[in-house]
Amino acid sequence: MRWRPDWASPYPREHLTSDVFAGIVTALLVIPQSLAYALLAGLPPQAGLYVSILPAIAYAWLGSSRVQAVGPVAITSIMTYAVLSPLATPGTGTYISLAATLALGSGILLIAAAQLRLGFLAQLLSRPVTAGFISGSALLIVLSQLQHLFSFQPQQTSAGAVITAWLTQGRWDANSWLGVAALLILGLARWYAPRHLPAAPAIAARITFFLRLLPLLLVLVATALVAHLALGQTYGLHQVGGLTPGLPALQLSLPSLDDSSRLLLPMALLALIGMVQNMSMAQALASRRRERVDANAELNGLGWANILAAGSGGMPVGGGVSRTAINVAAGAQTPLASIVAALVMLLIVLTAAPLFAHVPLAVLAASIITAALGMVDIKAMRQAWRHDRADGIAALGTALGVCLLGLEVGIALGVLFSLATHLYRASTPHIAVVGRIPGSSHFRNVARHQVETLPQVLFLRIDESLFFGNLAAVENRLRDELAHNPTLRDVVLIMSAVNWVDASAAEMLANLADELTAAGINLHLAEVKGPVQDSLERAPLWHTLHGRVFLSANDAFETLGARTA
């Protein structure tokens, strides 16, 4: 652990005012979100406030991102609920203990990954798969909150069970009116108002700040009305209930072997998703601010944040998109802003927690639904579909898998889709017959460009590394070309895009050279990279090759052209 972070060695004093202001604003604005995400996770609402203190400080001290904010987030909340609700009743002591075990285990795995320098694992999921997973999770979050708007209780967390319970048990009551009204207000503030800001920058900035304050103001106004007018008793409005003032006892009990074994896969899944989301956000912010992110420091900071969350609230945490956006918009310059926000949250927990007992659940549900709908990345999935059908299928399949089959199955499908897409592309390599651009030494596809070719010479470029999975495609393409050109005397394989050749491919090339030699055709190689040549020199091909190994395709063209002239 670092006892003094880089950003504080020394701390740039010119950022002090900005960081303090950003910390205060962030702490105030994320109160409704913190309460809501704790309820989403099936935990007491104050747990969301608790894990906004020590975990935030730990990440600010150990992480490498200067402005990312850590705390309760939607994805980890819905994952916690989806994993634990079949094992225990939400809100009970057993459930809270299991949630703490989940946070502790994922934190330990993240720290272990940091120590083993496994930050690259954040790239295990492709961007289309990540977009599909987040979008599918967001839809699950929306469905999970309908119960607070329409007063029903699903037996399971799956999309089908929630929709069935909604259609059979749901009713329109005062909670529905309040929740839909809050949805309209928050939706207008999030999607309509920002598109119609006045041209004057100063006025636009004030309106933008007010729009960011609106969720907090909405919660405060609704809470005041419910408390003052006793709307809960009169109209049956569901409320958060009593919040315990003060801080929880800081304790970290070791989980039982049975709990650990049951939660091992969810721990790994939570760590992986936290890693992907945290790194994606940190890298995007660093790129925008021209800063650097240390992947392993990020894992270390997030890991310790979850370990402290396990001992101070029991709720897994992560890098929050909306929380970070608020922090950046408020003017944060260094992680000191997150530390200030944590201290302000501590003050609120110690002095004002009971005031939130009358917060209507319908308003919190509306804020969660609004945030979740903003996570549905239809644009990314549409772009993936347009760019590559395989990427589009991977994104859509992951989203549907999460919605219909659950988070664990959905993310497993996402990984399988990513690997299957990669294997499919590698096993069907692009292979082009090329010729020389007149007056140059550049070679291009004969189907796309006007090029020079040599009679009885075939220049074939393989745009993929050679391994056992794509040998059939290479052999079949070469045999097709030989069938269409029975007068060939030389074949030049251009290997500029071949980065490695496995043992099966080396054996195939050797057999291919023997077959061509028997047919009176010479096999030549061109533009062989050093590591590939080192590999081939240890294989039979290098010693039995009757053709030549040319430095470049142009050398082969000149040499073979002079021979056939």
**Local structure of residue 434 (DSSP, 8 states):** E
CA proximity to 64, closest of 4, 23, 111, 5: 5
Q: Give the residues of the chain that fall short of pLDDT 70.
A: 1-3, 122-125, 157, 242-245, 249-255, 280-281, 283-285, 287-289, 321, 407-408, 564-565
Q: What is the pLDDT of residue 437?
A: 94
Contact 296, 114 (CB under 8 A): yes
**Per-residue confidence (pLDDT) for residue 237, from 0 to 100:** 85
Strand duo 490-494 + 522-526: pairing: parallel
Q: What is the pLDDT of residue 249?
A: 66
pTM of this prediction exceeds 0.75? no
pLDDT on residue 364: 83
Paired strand residues for 461: 432, 494
CA dihedral 12, 18, 21, 24 (to 10 degrees): -60
What pLDDT is attached to residue 1? 47
Q: What's residue 420's pLDDT?
A: 82
Answer whether 506's CB lies under 8 Å from 455's CB.
no
Q: What is the pLDDT of residue 40?
A: 85
What is the Cα–Cα distance from 550 to 178, expressed in whole angstroms? 76
Residues 50, 245 contacting (CB under 8 angstroms): no
240 sits in which H/E element: none
Task: Give residue 157's pLDDT.
Answer: 66
Q: What is the pLDDT of residue 446?
A: 92
